Amino acid sequence: MNNILHLDFETFSHAELSGKKKDSVGVWNYWHHPTTEILMLGYKLPGEDVVKIWEPHSGPVPEDLKVAISNSKITISAFNSTFERYGLEKLGFIIPVERFIDPQAAARYLSMPGDLDEVSTILRLPPELAKDKRGEALIELFCKPQKLRKKRGAAQEYTRNTWETHPAEWEEFKKYCMQDVVAEEEVSRREEILEALPLPPFEQKVWVFDQKVNDRGVPVDVEFVEKMYRLALRSKKEAKEAFEKLTGIENANSPAQVKAWAKPQGYPFSTLRKETVTSVLKDPEVKLTDVCRQALQMRREAASTSYQKLAKILQQVSPDGRLRNQFVYMGSARCGRWSGNAVQLHNIARPGLLGVYDFEDQKVVREARQLVYREDYEGIKAKYGSVLLVVKNLIRTVFVAEREEVCTA
């Protein structure tokens, strides 16, 4: 594969990109965040032996790079190419995903992880061809805002490091970016030998489909999510306070305190796992005090964590109300299946029975959703008994298809 343009962006933003972080916003939102800016772009043109670097502060996009990006006959390669594709869009280049190949996808196709550093290690790349391990410290230095010492009563203030404040480290950062391009190209070369890059034709079509699905996203009823989340937080707080009042425990969220309280009252196990508590409550041989039985039932009902997905949806949803980039192609590389990102759409609670109400019945769902829209907390409690379990049973309904204009002409 000689007609390849290799790319690697380095960026700055106040937004958190990584899906592993609690406050991550996702790659689409990261690139569309008002504070996100390109620091540099490492690139290697087809047929050339050297990696070049472009720094936006030094001038516009170089002409040779512009020509290569605009040439539809040139394939573009980048590790985790969604990031680079969105970066090119920020520069005004709208490139169809079909022009891309992705050594990260090929690595997963070979049952390797999706991390360039780990792939470099697995393939035993020599130091001059591997990812530079100093990169993490340089990313912390230049790609993220730096907290200033906070004054009492004042809002947190930030500053940032640049090529002007840290010129020596900036030169290292440029070398790191260029080395990423070198490492990605070498990984690509070895994947080509293993017939994994480009992916086999059918698998490449699957990957392109994956990219388009992630780009499009799914529509979310954001107002409904916000209201459900407020109701869930209120219910969680109320349940915690009721449990503490009943038991006299100082902190209902402390398993150690709950177990210490329950043991003298007949609870026989050292774990409070949901399955264990359920079996204890069903077992007539286990002699619990009435108050302990009541407390464990309260705790079990309040233990639903499905509502936490609502917070993650609000964090990840785009301003246009779509939830993007939630599927990871071959994220489970050992078996080749998709995995979930952030919201984990593969793992959403199924609706079921709540008392006499079947939440697979559309009439039940519509009535419950109306109560949520009115934020009728007491009405939900009175009708269904548990606000948290109503939230759990309605969580799949936060995804609502957009209305389409019907042409009658």
Q: What is the pLDDT along the chain (409 residues), one digit of tens a residue?
A: 679 999 999 999 999 997 566 789 999 999 999 999 999 999 999 999 999 999 999 999 999 999 999 999 999 999 999 999 999 999 999 999 999 999 999 999 999 999 999 999 999 999 999 888 888 999 999 999 998 887 777 788 889 999 999 999 999 999 999 999 999 999 999 999 999 999 999 999 999 999 999 999 999 999 999 999 999 999 999 988 998 999 999 988 899 999 999 999 899 999 998 889 989 999 988 989 999 999 998 887 777 788 999 999 999 999 999 999 999 999 998 889 999 999 999 999 999 999 999 999 999 999 999 999 999 999 999 999 999 999 999 999 999 987 765 545 4
In this structure, the dihedral spanned by the alpha carbons of residues 200, 206, 209 and 210, taken in order and rounded to 10 degrees, is -110
Domain boundaries, the chain: 4-216, 218-306+348-409
User: Which neighbouring-strand residues pair with 159?
Assistant: 146
CB 176 within 8 A of CB 134: yes
The domain at 4-216 falls in which architecture?
2-Layer Sandwich (3.30)
pLDDT of residue 1: 64
Write out the E strands in 65-124. 75-77, 100-101
Task: Please compute, for residue 173, the number of CA atoms within 13 A of its CA located in the half-sphere on the CB side.
Answer: 25
The backbone torsions φ and ψ at residue 243, rounded to the nearest 5 degrees and listed phi first, read -65, -45
pLDDT of residue 228: 97
CB 295 within 8 A of CB 247: yes
Q: What is the pTM of this model?
A: 0.89
Burial of 132 (0-12, 13-18, 19+ CB in 10 A): buried
> Which DSSP state fits 265?
G
The backbone torsions φ and ψ at residue 340, rounded to the nearest 5 degrees and listed phi first, read -100, 155
pLDDT of residue 409: 46
How crowded is residue 189: how many other Cβ atoms within 10 Å of its Cβ?
A: 14
Q: Among residues 380, 402, 399, 401, which one has the least CA distance to residue 391?
A: 380
The backbone torsions φ and ψ at residue 76, rounded to the nearest 5 degrees and listed phi first, read -110, 130
pLDDT of residue 19: 57
Q: In sequence order, which residues have a C-beta less than 8 Å from that of residue 100 and are 6 or more positions away?
A: 75, 76, 77, 78, 81, 85, 211
Distances (CA, A) of 348 to 307, 386, 396, 398: 10, 19, 7, 11
